[in-house]
Amino acid sequence: MAREVVLETERLVLRRWRVDEAVVQRELWAERDPRVPPHRRIDADGHPTVAEIEEWIRGDRTSSLGLPAVVRKAGRDVIGYCGLIDGGHGTGEEPELAFEFLRRVWGQGYATEASSAVLEWARSAGYERLWATVRDWNVASRRVLAKIGFAETGRVEVDPVFGDMLFTMRRL
């Protein structure tokens, strides 16, 4: 079995989620913007529950990067996730960068710092290009993507209900 990927920056550690951290993932779901599509928000019946998220974490046995927890070194607290997914926008060799952080830590540079570590890992792993998608209304995430070198491609999936999806790309 391949070794678990752990990334480290000056202030952060990116590592596999632990079952007792499911409550943090649930908090991320709970505080998502109402413009986020319903399948990515807590539904009327309260799903996903903490127990369901615990099961997802138990079932995640990937040894690749995936979406690791982002932990602050100073407080040893999980503040979000940042990693690579198969977004289906490129080929399997061109994954998508994805990140999300708790609102209470927004504006402190954590998304940029964690994303930069993921970019370095992707480069060292042999990836040549990464994608990222972002809703047009998500100005903060668009700023982070621009800061770390992603450029809008001009491709847009129009969505009058949840906001247009913008496609960005970065060569490594």
pLDDT tens across 73-115, in order?
Answer: 999 999 999 999 987 665 567 899 999 999 999 999 999 999 9
- pLDDT at position 5 is 87
Rounded to whole angstroms, the maximal C-alpha distance in the chain is 45
**Contact at 8 Å (CB) between 140 and 106?**
yes
pLDDT at residue 71 tops 90: yes
Say how far apart CA 98 and CA 81 lie, in whole Å: 8
- Which one is predicted more confidently, 154 or 63? 154
**Contact at 8 Å (CB) between 83 and 118?**
yes
Average pLDDT over residues 16-39: 96
pLDDT at residue 3 tops 50: yes
Dihedral in degrees, nearest 10, Cα atoms 118, 138, 144, 121: 10
Say how far apart CA 124 and CA 126 lie, in whole Å: 5
